[in-house]
Homo-oligomer: A and B are copies of this chain.
């Protein structure tokens, strides 16, 4: 069941029902503008990743600032975006199963659709779905540039797969998917440089080998919020797939710059608003938001603007707070939390509550929430 929204436009932030997912609109727009300015310098364009936000509303605001389209991980996310008017969508992932591929091919009637492959099995199945739907699908070859998860080895194996794609009358070879997920959260700039330099080398070599076979890469896509400036400067990548930059989470805020300080390119724009529901002993309080409301896979959330309070543990529906000596929190007090990891936190909610200047300005549905298929 879609849950009713926890707020009404015009309400004060303190009146919002909790737990609620807030977007600080000033910080959010700052992030979108900052990214647009950063990518305006280079050859690579932004294709922002919708796995973070799951919302056509956010997608359109990114596209209005120059993003060429959106990435998604799931067909259900592609559907939510295409049905919401997004015209250019890359599934930066493998899609397996005839019913999923039929749904994906159907979307090609209303949007530009591309999808990844790392095995001939994928190519055959995508071609069959495209043929049945009477469309031509763009297929990118995913290469493993250090993530150790999906992707064929760079070089010859990738060329072979690209040739299979190009040989199909129902497919168009779309280029390379070369995302280094593990590099995004490496803490020092040296570590990130080192990892991405190797990824760029592997990608450049594969692009060159493809060109020698007459196969041009319309898209060479990859990069995330932690490394996109490196891929942008590479001269090889044409599209950057950053997602988290629009919201920023506590874990990304632990990445460091050359001076050893946290990177501050983007601001925290996503918050979980929560309420103190119990406070029966000194130094401890309990929030109405546990890990069903805020993801803890990348660490506990951070209490915003209150260095005297630490969110120390989450159970299903409760968050336990430790208070510094002398600090108190009355029952009913609302606090903003910065999620440890924004993507899976968003996936637990039905609504964004957009706030500005202490007031609720808008409600946006998280249309692709639950879009696991």
Contact B151 A370 (CB under 8 A): no
* Proximity bits, A334-359, B CB within 8 Å = 1, else 0: 00000000011001111000000000
Contact A149 B286 (CB under 8 A): yes
A93 to B330, CA, bound (A): 17
A93 to B317, CA, bound (A): 9
Q: Across the interface, which residues of B come within 8 angstroms of A365, CB to CB?
A: 1
A94 proximal to B (CB < 8 A)? yes
Known: A277-B150, A317-B74. A373 touches B93 (CB 8 A): no
Contact A370 B344 (CB under 8 A): no
Q: Output the nearest chain B residue to A346 by Cβ-Cβ distance.
A: B292
Interface size on A, residues (CB 8 A): 70
Identify which of B118, B275, B280, B368 contacts A97 (C-beta below 8 A).
B275
Most buried by B among A2, A122, A149, A278: A278
Q: Across the interface, which residues of B come within 8 angstroms of A349, CB to CB?
A: 370, 372
A291 proximal to B (CB < 8 A)? yes
Contact A280 B315 (CB under 8 A): no
CB proximity to B under 8 Å, residues A312-342: 314-318, 320, 330-332
Tell me how many chains of this kind the complex includes: 2
> In the complex, how many angstroms separate the beta carbon of A322 from the nearest chain B beta carbon?
12
Known: A3-B76, A97-B17, A122-B331. A144 touches B367 (CB 8 A): no
CB proximity to B under 8 Å, residues A246-260: none
Q: Across the interface, which residues of B come within 8 angstroms of A277, CB to CB?
A: 93-96, 150
* Proximity bits, A296-325, B CB within 8 Å = 1, else 0: 110000000000000000111110100000
Identify which of B2, B73, B295, B331 contacts A370 (C-beta below 8 A).
B2
A286 to B297, CA, bound (A): 19
Q: Output the nearest chain B residue to A289 by Cβ-Cβ distance.
A: B372
Known: A150-B278, A344-B292. A3 touches B100 (CB 8 A): no
A331 to B74, CA, bound (A): 17
Contact A121 B331 (CB under 8 A): yes
Contact A149 B96 (CB under 8 A): no
A183 proximal to B (CB < 8 A)? no
Identify which of B74, B291, B369 contacts A344 (C-beta below 8 A).
B291
Q: Output the nearest chain B residue to A142 by Cβ-Cβ distance.
A: B278
Known: A73-B317, A150-B280, A347-B348. A1 touches B369 (CB 8 A): yes
A253 to B13, CA, bound (A): 43
> In the complex, how many angstroms separate the beta carbon of A288 from the nearest chain B beta carbon?
7
> In the complex, how many angstroms separate the beta carbon of A80 from the nearest chain B beta carbon?
7
